[in-house]
Amino acid sequence: MVNLALIGMGLVGSQVLKIIEKNLQKYKDQYNIDFNFTAIFEYDGALISDAGISVSEVLGSHNFRDLDYWKPGVQAIEAIPDTKADIIIDATPVNPDTGEPALSHILKALKSKKHVVTSNKGPFYLAYENIKEIAEKNGVSFGFESTVGSAVPCLGIRDSLAGNKIKKIVGVLNGTSNYILNRMTSEGISFNLALQEAQENGYAETDPTLDIEGYDAAGKLVILANHLLGWNKTIKDVKISGITKVNEDMISLAKKSHMEIKHLAVAKDGELEVSLKLIPENSALALGGTLNGVYLDTELAGEIIITGRGAGGSEAAAGIISDVINISRRYLLADT
Query: In sequence order, what DSSP letters do the residues of 134-171 get, joined into one string?
Result: HHHHTT--EE-GGGTTTTS-TTTHHHHTTT--EEEEEE
With pLDDT > 90 as the criterion, what percentage of the chain qualifies? 86
Inter-residue contact 179 to 290 (CB < 8 Å): yes
70-101: pLDDT as tens digits:
999 999 999 999 999 999 999 999 898 999 99
pLDDT at 330 over 60: yes
Alpha helices in 188-247 (DSSP H): 191-200, 209-212, 215-229
Mean pLDDT value of segment 294-312: 92
3-state secondary structure 303-331: EEEEEEECCCHHHHHHHHHHHHHHHHHHH
Per the CATH hierarchy, to which homologous superfamily does domain 2-150+314-332 belong? Answer: NAD(P)-binding Rossmann-like Domain (3.40.50.720)
Please count the other Cβ atoms lying within 10 Å of the Cβ belonging to residue 16: 28
Any idea where the domains of the chain sit in the sequence? 2-150+314-332, 157-309
CATH number of the structural domain 157-309:
3.30.360.10
Inter-residue contact 288 to 182 (CB < 8 Å): yes
Catalytic residue, candidates 108, 114, 220, 262: 220
Q: What is the mean pLDDT of the chain?
A: 94
pLDDT at 158 over 50: yes
Least confident of 9-13, 127-131, 155-159, 204-208: 204-208
Instruction: Quote the pLDDT of residue 310.
Output: 76
pLDDT at 334 over 70: no
pLDDT at 335 over 60: no
| pTM attached to this predicted model | 0.91
Instruction: Quote the pLDDT of residue 102.
Output: 97
pLDDT at 336 over 50: no
232-274: pLDDT as tens digits:
999 999 999 999 999 888 998 999 999 999 999 999 999 999 9
Residue 3's H or E segment, with its range, is: strand 2-7
11-35: pLDDT as tens digits:
899 999 999 999 999 999 999 999 9
From CA 334, how far away is CA 312, in angstroms rounded? 33
Q: Is residue 220 annotated as a catalytic residue, yes or no?
A: yes
Inter-residue contact 294 to 154 (CB < 8 Å): yes
Instruction: Quote the pLDDT of residue 285.
Output: 96
From CA 187, how far away is CA 210, in angstroms rounded? 24
Mean pLDDT value of segment 316-327: 95
